């Protein structure tokens, strides 16, 4: 399987200028190719092929006075920009055919975009020097902060400049599966807001609320940015300060997701989660908290790490009534408002923690042999009905309880 490893780059002033030139040339070629294809479509002409565009917009354009500066950067960077446009069109058409989620048509890139990237393949003859620097053609040897060792020789490297003005080298490497020692543990995970994750064994992991905790600092940075004149140097400095504040929040959230997902995959043979409708929840009054949690990114990490380490990953449907079914007897007890955190099953009398009960049901719905002993059940003596003594009783009217408040 292919994995991506990112490392921080520290280019010098001259190297930053060379990278800015590469970003600009790749952007111009992308926009020229997009314009050529849109012109052909509006005139009813055949769609220009990538090879023809490469010859016209790169090879021949270098010999003209208007585009002579394209020769100052590696040709591989410009060719990969055309490949990116092909990918954008392919994703757009696949979305129209229903093969993937819908996305908009390709649009022109702007020099004002806060994120810029260029990609170097093996044809560019980039390399890692004996002094552990990244050597890129027509850019030079860049200082890299190696935080870990690459498992194999990378096939491509992408240089990225993010909105906070930081530079990263993103390597694509091919790795084989790493099988971990087998274990009998299986876990179902119920994702939430008060607690980020509730496990079927009764463990509750608090939500760090990175955005909420940094909200005061972010508001101050955004307020300072809004007061600066557009186009001024002070506005650029304020924008960079606000971007760095947001980047710190995103980095902390990503680190939390990586640590937790790795821990769960290493300790459990099988992991089951619920397929949540994040887009739907993001349209409610809980939108900021939903985005702050980052459930989709966390589930994505669980999925690819399970595939990498030979674990089983299961995703159950979003319409599975995990919060309505008693994990003890399996009777569906009906929907409950969000403020009901503890409820009593009307059929068997078990007192259930809403979140842990849902986590147990997630594991059972995924076909995992999980016990409900971790669901914090307190059995209550309920006399059997006379007409059905010795058989499973019919569900009685719903009986809800909040913590410390007896049911009515």
Per residue in 170-182, pLDDT (tens digit) is: 999 988 878 888 8
How far is 161 from 22, CA to CA, in rounded Å? 12
How far is 361 from 325, CA to CA, in rounded Å? 7
Confidence of residue 201 (pLDDT cuts 50, 70, 90): confident
pLDDT for 1 equals: 82
Segment 165-169 shows an average pLDDT of 95
The share of the chain scoring above pLDDT 90, in percent, equals 59
Task: Classify residue 168 by burial, with Cβ atoms within 10 Å: 0-12, 13-18, 19+.
Answer: middle
pLDDT for 375 equals: 46
Q: Which two tokens stand for residue 384?
A: 């059997």
CB 364 within 8 A of CB 188: yes
Is 167 a residue whose pLDDT tops 50?
yes
How far is 119 from 88, CA to CA, in rounded Å? 15
Torsion of CA 258, 262, 263, 266, to 10 degrees: 180
- The residues assigned a catalytic role are 190, 274, 355
Least trusted range by pLDDT, from 29-33, 281-285, 332-336: 332-336
Q: Is the dihedral of CA 211, 214, 220, 221 positive or negative?
A: negative
Q: Higher-confidence residue: 330 or 202?
A: 202
- In the β-sheet with 342-344, what is the strand arrangement from edge to edge? 351-353, 342-344, 399-401
Least trusted range by pLDDT, from 141-155, 186-200, 293-307, 377-391: 377-391
Is 323 a residue whose pLDDT tops 90?
no
pLDDT for 354 equals: 81
Mean per-residue pLDDT of the chain: 86
The model's pLDDT over 254-278, given as tens digits with 9 standing for 90+, comes to 999 999 999 999 999 999 998 888 8
Phi, psi (5° rounding) for residue 330? 85, 10
378 forms beta bridges with: 351
Q: Which is it for strands 127-128 and 167-174: parallel, antiparallel or unpaired? A: unpaired
**Cα–Cα distances in angstroms (integers) from residue 396 to residues 32, 67, 81, 361, in the given order:** 69, 79, 65, 21
160 forms beta bridges with: 117, 168
pLDDT for 336 equals: 80
Segment 387-406 shows an average pLDDT of 39
The model's pLDDT over 340-362, given as tens digits with 9 standing for 90+, comes to 888 788 778 778 888 888 888 88
Least trusted range by pLDDT, from 154-168, 212-226, 325-339: 325-339
């Amino acid at each position: 399987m292919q994995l991506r490893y990112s490392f921080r780059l520290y280019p010098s002033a001259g190297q930053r200028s060379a990278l800015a030139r590469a970003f600009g040339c790749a952007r111009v070629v992308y926009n020229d190719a997009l314009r050529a294809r849109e012109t052909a479509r509006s005139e009813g002409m055949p769609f220009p092929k990538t090879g023809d565009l490469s010859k016209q917009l790169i090879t021949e354009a270098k010999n003209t006075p208007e585009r002579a500066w394209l020769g100052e950067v590696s040709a591989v960077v410009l060719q990969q920009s055309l490949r990116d446009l092909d990918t954008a069109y392919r994703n757009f058409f696949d979305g129209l055919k229903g093969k993937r989620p819908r996305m908009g048509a390709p649009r022109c890139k702007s020099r004002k975009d806060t994120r810029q990237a260029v990609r170097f393949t093996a044809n560019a003859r980039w390399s890692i020097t004996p002094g552990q620097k990244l050597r890129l053609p027509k850019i030079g040897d860049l200082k890299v902060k190696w935080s870990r060792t690459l498992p194999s020789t990378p096939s491509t490297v992408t240089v990225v400049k993010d909105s906070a003005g930081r530079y990263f080298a993103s390597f694509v490497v091919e790795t084989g599966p790493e099988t971990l020692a087998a274990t009998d543990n299986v876990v179902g995970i119920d994702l939430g807001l008060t607690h980020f994750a509730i496990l079927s064994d009764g463990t509750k992991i608090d939500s760090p609320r990175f955005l909420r905790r940094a909200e005061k600092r972010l508001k101050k940075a955004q307020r300072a940015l809004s007061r600066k004149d557009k186009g001024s140097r002070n506005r650029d400095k304020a924008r960079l300060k606000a971007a760095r504040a947001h980047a710190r929040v995103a980095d902390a959230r990503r680190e939390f997701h990586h640590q937790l997902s790795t821990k769960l995959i290493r300790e459990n043979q099988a992991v089951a989660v619920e397929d949540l409708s994040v887009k739907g929840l993001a349209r409610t009054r809980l939108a900021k908290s939903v985005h702050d949690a980052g459930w989709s990114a966390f589930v994505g990490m669980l999925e690819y790490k399970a595939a990498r380490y030979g674990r089983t990953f299961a995703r159950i449907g979003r319409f599975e009534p995990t919060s309505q079914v008693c994990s003890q007897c399996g009777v569906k007890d009906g929907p409950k408002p969000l403020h009901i955190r503890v409820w009593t099953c009307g059929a068997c009398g078990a007192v259930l923690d809403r979140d842990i009960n849902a986590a147990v049901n997630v594991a059972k719905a995924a076909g995992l042999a999980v016990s409900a002993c971790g669901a914090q059940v307190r059995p209550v003596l309920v006399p059997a009905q006379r007409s059905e003594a010795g058989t499973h009783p019919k569900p009685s009217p719903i009986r809800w309880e909040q913590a410390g408040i007896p049911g009515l």
